[in-house]
Amino acid sequence: MGEESVKYKIWLDNIKGLGRANKIKLTEYAGSAKEVFFMSKKDIEDIIWLKDKQKKAMYDDGAKDGAERLFEVFEKGKVKITTIDDCDYPKKLKNIYDPPYALYYIGENVFDNKKIISVVGARMCDEYGRTYALKIARALAENGCVIVSGMAYGIDAAAHWGALKGCGKTIAVLGNGPDIIYPEKNALLYNEIIDNGCAVSEYFPKTAPKPGLFPQRNRIISGLSDAVILIEAKEKSGSLITADLALDQGKDIYALPGRVDDALSAGTNALIKQGAGIITDIESLLKDLNLDCKSSIDKDSPKEKYLEKEELMLYSVLDLHEKNLEIIYKEANLEREAALNALSSLIKKGYVTECFKNYYRRI
């Protein structure tokens, strides 16, 4: 995509109050964002489906100035853009209700490369959910699937790490600009994602995270996917919104069952009751998705490329039975601060869990 073409696309997407549907309609009407840009004031006034304030916004110099500033971000950074009239725009996303006019992303365009499966669930998950999110995403990645999720705490983060452990590609759909890391504690994960997939958003670079922006991204998560896997969700949650959108889009839904008295399983159990596919074991899930069932999910050793020296030293003294923190310090032969940092990192990556206060084990 040429620089000039990018400028016009950024300009069109930068027009406030125009709406996604009108941006798409204008592009189809004129032939391209460039042709829209050079429409005369009279031509714009003759468009009957636009409101007067929308017409005024189109020839407002403020949108052009804003586009110039945004284009500087593209020139200096790694952000790329694809719009609905581009050949590299996700094909599956074109068919959903209310598709985004533009997507901004950092990393590799893997939107149409392979089978894409979304793995989503609760932020405040438990170890049961986190463990299975990691295992399922890893097995799917090992079988050639791209894993898409929202890079939130909990299930989302575990799903991304699972894809990385499976040496696969992963897509993080963000509720802020693609160059903003949120939550900040997921910085390490974000950097791994853009090196092994991409971080994508319909929001401009530098857009700060706001609560109202996150529900919108759920339609993109489901829209990109061939199937949606839900792992732990309360009776009312954003993950269920993703599942509902996926159903509306004609996608297959799978859910991990949980205890009947567990609030985190209320949403997934309800989906199963309504007819979602039930995940009883990973091999059966892979077969349902018409995959080859190649997996190393039973192997405990992590991929060393994702662990630093101190992390490996600490990981080597842990096993599947909980161990006291003081014993871990002694056996790892690390200074207290270095051990704590390594332990914290291993927990974030999904290799280690705190069973109860000051007791840890491998996942």
Q: C-alpha distances in angstroms, 340 versus 227, 292, 347, 351?
A: 38, 40, 11, 14
Residue 71, pLDDT score? 74
Residue 52, pLDDT score? 92
359 token code pair: 């007791």
3-state secondary structure (DSSP) of residue 146: strand
In which residue are the tokens 């993080």 written? 172
Contacts of residue 174, Cβ cutoff 8 Å, sequence gap at least 6: 150, 151, 180, 182, 199, 200, 201, 203, 217
Structure confidence by residue, pLDDT tens digits, 256-291: 998 888 898 999 999 999 999 999 999 999 999 999
How far, rounded to the nearest angstrom, does the alpha carbon of residue 45 sit from its chain's CA centroid? 40
Question: Is a pLDDT exceeding 80 seen at residue 121?
Answer: yes
3-state secondary structure (DSSP) of residue 179: coil
Structure confidence by residue, pLDDT tens digits, 17-65: 899 999 999 999 999 998 998 888 899 999 999 999 999 888 776 666 6
Where do the domains of the chain lie, and which CATH numbers do they carry? 3-76 (1.10.150), 116-288 (3.40.50.450), 304-362 (1.10.10.10)
pTM of the model: 0.80
What pLDDT band is residue 300 in, cutting at 50, 70 and 90?
A: very low
Residue 257, pLDDT score? 94
In a 13 Å sphere around the CA of 229, the CA atoms on its Cβ side amount to 30
Q: C-alpha distances in angstroms, 85 versus 40, 90, 171, 304?
A: 22, 10, 21, 41
355 token code pair: 């069973």
Question: Is a pLDDT exceeding 60 seen at residue 305?
Answer: no
Structure confidence by residue, pLDDT tens digits, 90-113: 999 998 999 999 999 999 999 987
Q: How far apart are CA 356 and CA 345, in angstroms?
A: 18
In a 13 Å sphere around the CA of 55, the CA atoms on its Cβ side amount to 13
Supply the mean pLDDT for the chain.
Answer: 88
Residue 358, pLDDT score? 86
Contacts of residue 222, Cβ cutoff 8 Å, sequence gap at least 6: 96, 118, 228, 242, 243, 245, 246, 249, 251
